[in-house]
Amino acid sequence: MSSIRHTAQRVRIGYKDDVLNTVFLKNYLDGVTCVANLLLRDRDKFSVYKNAVEVLYETVCDPLVGRQWRRVCLDHLYKPLLKAECYAHNESDRIELARIKIDMNTRRPVDL
């Protein structure tokens, strides 16, 4: 079974041959949206999108992953990030998101 969790692991590892596969990433992000659409509470939707942000961002920062794939992930990072921002209604969620964004600004990979 190719669950979102499993797909997320594949996103993290990237493609061995550094092959661009935006369709694969689109499927992952569609899956994330599908799971979020099943939830009723905004805080739970936030968690789903925040996890996706973390998966993509960790991939972007991972020097062991192919550069092309990391660029693809960076290009798509804004999608779950914007969604997460939409659902960050309480203070702790906003702080968590701010922490991730500060980290993004300070730890931006130099080789991309």
Partner 1 sequence: MTATRTERDSMGELQVPENALYGAQTQRAIQNFPVSGQRMPEAFVRALITVKKAAAQANMKLKVLGNDRGQAIVRACDELLALDDVIQHFPVDIFQTGSGTSTNMNANEVIARLASRYSGEEVHPNDHVNYGQSSNDVIPTTIHVSAAIALSNELIPAIEGLVSIIEVKAKSVAQFCKTGRTHLMDAMPVGMDQSLLAWASQLKQQLKNLRAVQPAIQTLAQGGTAVGTGVNAHANFATTFSDTLGELTDIGFKPADNFFALIGSQDTAVTLSGATKSLAVTLMKIANDLRWMNSGPLAGLGEIALPALQPGSSIMPGKVNPVIPEAVAMASAQVIGNDTAITVGGQSGNFELNVMLPMIASNLLSSLSLMTNSATLIGEQAIEGFTVNQDNIEAALYRNPVLVTALNPVIGYAKAAEIAKAAYKENKPVIDVAEAMTDIPRGELESLLDPKKLTTP
CB atoms within 10 A of CB 111: 6
Tokens encoding 57: 């961002």
Residue 19 interacts with partner 1 (CB under 8 A)?
Answer: no
| Residue 56 CB, nearest approach to partner 1 (Å) | 17
Q: Can you tell me which of 20, 22, 44, 82 binds partner 1, judged by CB under 8 A? A: 44
- In 3D, which of 56, 50, 54 has the Cα closest to residue 82? 50
Please tell me the number of Cα atoms within 13 Å of 101 on its side-chain side. 12
Q: Which is nearer to partner 1, 42 or 62 (CB)?
A: 42
Interaction site with partner 1 (CB under 8 A): 1-5, 31, 33-35, 37-41, 43-44, 47-48, 90
